[in-house]
Amino acid sequence: MRLLIQLVLSILLASPACAAIARLQKADTYPGNSVTLTGTTAGNFLVVSASWADTTSDPAVSDTASNTWNPLPVLRGPTGQGPASIKLFYAMNIRAGNTTITLSSSPADVGIHVVEYSGVATGTSLDVTNTAVAAGPSTTPTSGSFTSTVGDLIYVYLADEGAAQTTVTAGAGYTTITTTGNHFDGSEDNLSATAGAQTASFTLGTATGSWALYVATFKAATVRTPTCGKVNDTNIYLPPNYDTFSPPAKGQSYIDPVFGCKITRVTDAIAMGWVEATHFYSTITPFNADDSYLFLYGSAPIIVDSSGNVVVSESNMPPTNSSIEVWDTTNNKAIYYTNGNQFIKGTISGTPPNATVTPTVLATFTQYASVVISGDMDISNDGLHIWLTSAPSMGGDSYTADVFFVTLNAGNGNATNATMGTVMASVTYHKLQIVPNNGVSVEGNGNRAIYNPDGTVYEVPGGGTNSHTDWGLDSSGKMVAASIWYAGTAENGCPSGWGYSLLDLASNSVRLCLNDGIQHGGSAAHNSARDTLSGYWIVFSDDDSGGCPSSSYWCFNNPTNMTGWGLYTHSIRLRLYGRLHNRPAILARYPVPRSIPESYLCR
């Protein structure tokens, strides 16, 4: 998720490094033009390779998850012992779930392979390609020379329609993935390319007939680390000008004198006639898909750019019976909201500041007078699912209402309808949050529970009911949750027994302590997590809203007693828990400027 948290403050990271690429699963079919993977993870990467025995066919590929497939040009082998053609396809930032992939035709002697990887870039991932063909014979078919980016995934596919193989050895630095066929087709990879020119090859037990070999390299995802803030630092820093600080004008920036972060003021609530200017809640994505727009709430919802310029004014926002509008995960101009008993897609068009939102009704739930997106709810990572409720309001109090699962018929802002799935009748809740398996976390009486799309219910161990919680996936696809688990016990995972920790939902145990002593930070603590889409980080904020220093109106209008300033008071902390889920984490602290509730971007 992208997020704004506390005073609508966004942590934007720099200092990129390459993520570690991992091969997660593979499947192949021969003969046949269809193959299935089980339980793919949202945000990951798929590569498909196929070969067949003619030099005229050129199939496309599609799948049951509606992923977007990018084809590479078909490669034709020379006329020889047997005609051969091969083609590669790849899909970035994939949707989660069981996925069947099918070629659009079934040429003679066709075989198909698919591999799922994590750690590959989710956009513009293709780096370089290289091909080689020969009429044969050879026991060491080899590509031409190519130079890829350090850290790339190198994927290699070879087809020979003339000879079956008893032994196949990957080239130096490569690992065999699959081999099939009464002829031969096979694949190998290198998960982290080195610098300089290189080649790819196979060593075969039997000399080939005519063969064709395809190399494609793909860029690793970018992992970013903080360029400001205090890393692994537990010192207390007194703000040098907390009582005298004068914020810059809207759209202007300043550098925090202690933490070194550039902070840009996005709003001026008083000038805009508002009491405050904030994003609604930390577990709802404030930014659109390309981080160019964000939702804010003053007297009514509004959409602005990162400098605070109005994109869609309050008067041009569509009518809604909830203050929650959620962004599409990939289309930067699409939002979803409710009005009356309808679930609606909105499409932003026109020129700021007079842009408008065009509604498309996706579903009408005639059995209810009203449906709402609850106050902590966002759309799923794959952009296809959300849970709605029949409560009269979006939340904040305790409600007893039907909670039901809704599925869009298409992603990327292309949905034309949505359908109701599982209905959980008369659920009493305070908060509802979607979790990575598309279930819904219910905070109500007793421990948190996850209601799954298939109707089953899972009670989350370790409490967490009275603490803010957010959910994510680690790089291996396991669901994790950040909260104060097993409070006051050794199972909490932190030395004090009261820290924020990461719960592994597969083992029902705490994996690591994220931040100890956070319980001393005050009466208002929030968190928000980002997972497989990029980054793997969790942000915490603390504020003692009952005393000073804090962001309360009383503190804003009265001098602050600095003796009350504690380790975690009124600060933002960023926890990078790493693409390797048990890697030691980094803790960074960021400043919160003193002002009435405004929107700031911290870079």
DSSP assignment of 282-320 equals TTS--B-TTSSEEEEESSSEEEEETT--EEE-GGGSPP-
Report the range of poorest mean pLDDT among 144-148, 178-182, 365-369, 563-567: 563-567
The residues, any chain, with a CB within 8 Å of residue 561's CB and separated by 6 or more, are: 548
Render pLDDT for 93-126 as a digit per residue (tens, 0 to 9): 888 889 999 999 888 889 899 999 988 988 789 9
Mean pLDDT score, 6-35: 68
Amino acid 172: pLDDT: 92
Amino acid 8: pLDDT: 30
Mean pLDDT score, 361-385: 91
Mean pLDDT score, 8-20: 46
Q: Give the SS3 label for residue 520.
A: helix
Amino acid 581: pLDDT: 28
Residue length, the chain? Answer: 603
Q: Are 338 and 357 in contact (CB under 8 A)?
A: no
Amino acid 553: pLDDT: 43
Residue 259 main-chain phi, psi, to 5 deg: -95, -10
Render pLDDT for 270-320 as a digit per residue (tens, 0 to 9): 777 776 777 777 778 888 887 789 888 777 888 988 888 899 998 999 999
Which is it for strands 222-225 and 230-231: parallel, antiparallel or unpaired?
Answer: unpaired
How many C-beta atoms surround the C-beta of residue 124 within 10 A? Answer: 9
Amino acid 369: pLDDT: 94
Question: What's the start-to-end Cα distance of the chain, in Å?
Answer: 17
Q: Which residues of 574-584 are buried (b: 16+ CB within 10 A; e: fewer)?
A: bbbbbbebeee
Position with higher pLDDT, 11 vs 461? 461
CA distances from 187 to 91, 179, 213, 214, 397 (A): 17, 7, 10, 9, 56
CA distances from 344 to 49, 144, 270, 282, 334 (A): 39, 53, 32, 23, 10
Amino acid 81: pLDDT: 61
Q: Give ranges for CATH 2.130.10.10 in the chain.
A: 285-461
The residues, any chain, with a CB within 8 Å of residue 160's CB and separated by 6 or more, are: 82, 84, 136, 141, 183, 184, 185, 208, 209, 210, 211
Residue 554 main-chain phi, psi, to 5 deg: -60, -45
pLDDT band at residue 153, thresholds of 50, 70 and 90? very high
Residue 561 has pLDDT above 80, yes or no: no
pTM for the model: 0.68
Residue 91 has pLDDT above 90, yes or no: yes
Residues 592 and 572: their CA atoms lie apart, in Å, by: 7
CATH 2.30.42.10 matches 285-461: no
Radius of gyration of the CA atoms of the chain, in A: 27
- Rounded percentage of the chain residues whose pLDDT exceeds 90: 31
Amino acid 133: pLDDT: 92
Amino acid 381: pLDDT: 79
Structure tokens at 537: 């980080």
Residues 215 and 219: their CA atoms lie apart, in Å, by: 14
Q: Are 146 and 196 in contact (CB under 8 A)?
A: no
How many C-beta atoms surround the C-beta of residue 458 within 10 A? Answer: 16
Position with higher pLDDT, 437 vs 15? 437
Residues 582 and 560: their CA atoms lie apart, in Å, by: 41
Render pLDDT for 23-78 as a digit per residue (tens, 0 to 9): 999 999 988 999 999 988 878 999 999 998 888 999 999 999 888 899 999 999 88
Q: Are 581 and 478 in contact (CB under 8 A)?
A: yes
- Rounded percentage of the chain residues whose pLDDT exceeds 70: 75
Residues 183 and 179: their CA atoms lie apart, in Å, by: 10
State the average pLDDT for the chain. 79
Residues 330 and 202: their CA atoms lie apart, in Å, by: 39
Q: Are 169 and 179 in contact (CB under 8 A)?
A: no
Q: Are 101 and 88 in contact (CB under 8 A)?
A: no
Q: Which of 437, 340, 459 is nearest to 387 (CA)?
A: 437
Structure tokens at 89: 């396809």
pLDDT band at residue 386, thresholds of 50, 70 and 90? very high
pLDDT band at residue 224, thresholds of 50, 70 and 90? low
Most confident of 300-304, 415-419, 435-439, 508-512: 415-419
Amino acid 257: pLDDT: 82
Instruction: Name the one residue in this structure whose structure tokens are 């009265």.
Output: 558
Residues 113 and 185: their CA atoms lie apart, in Å, by: 9
Position with higher pLDDT, 547 vs 529? 529
pLDDT band at residue 516, thresholds of 50, 70 and 90? confident
Which is it for strands 45-52 and 111-118: parallel, antiparallel or unpaired?
Answer: antiparallel
Say how far residue 409 (Cα) sits from the centre of its chain: 20
Position with higher pLDDT, 494 vs 238? 494
Report the range of poorest mean pLDDT among 65-74, 238-247, 355-364, 402-411: 238-247
Amino acid 582: pLDDT: 29
Most confident of 205-209, 530-534, 571-575: 205-209
Residues 505 and 465: their CA atoms lie apart, in Å, by: 16
Structure tokens at 508: 């029902």
Residues 243 and 423: their CA atoms lie apart, in Å, by: 52
Query: Read out DSSP for 56-106?
Result: S----EEETT-PPPEEPPPEEPPSSSS--EEEEEEESSPPPEEEEEEESS-
pLDDT band at residue 5, thresholds of 50, 70 and 90? very low
Structure tokens at 406: 């809704």
Position with higher pLDDT, 423 vs 322? 423
Report the range of poorest mean pLDDT among 150-154, 199-203, 437-441: 437-441
Mean pLDDT score, 577-583: 31
Amino acid 342: pLDDT: 96
Mean pLDDT score, 480-490: 83
Long-range pairs, 333-339, Cβ under 8 A, ≥24? 333/288, 333/413, 334/412, 334/413, 336/362, 336/373, 336/379, 336/386, 337/373, 338/370, 338/371, 338/372, 338/373, 338/388
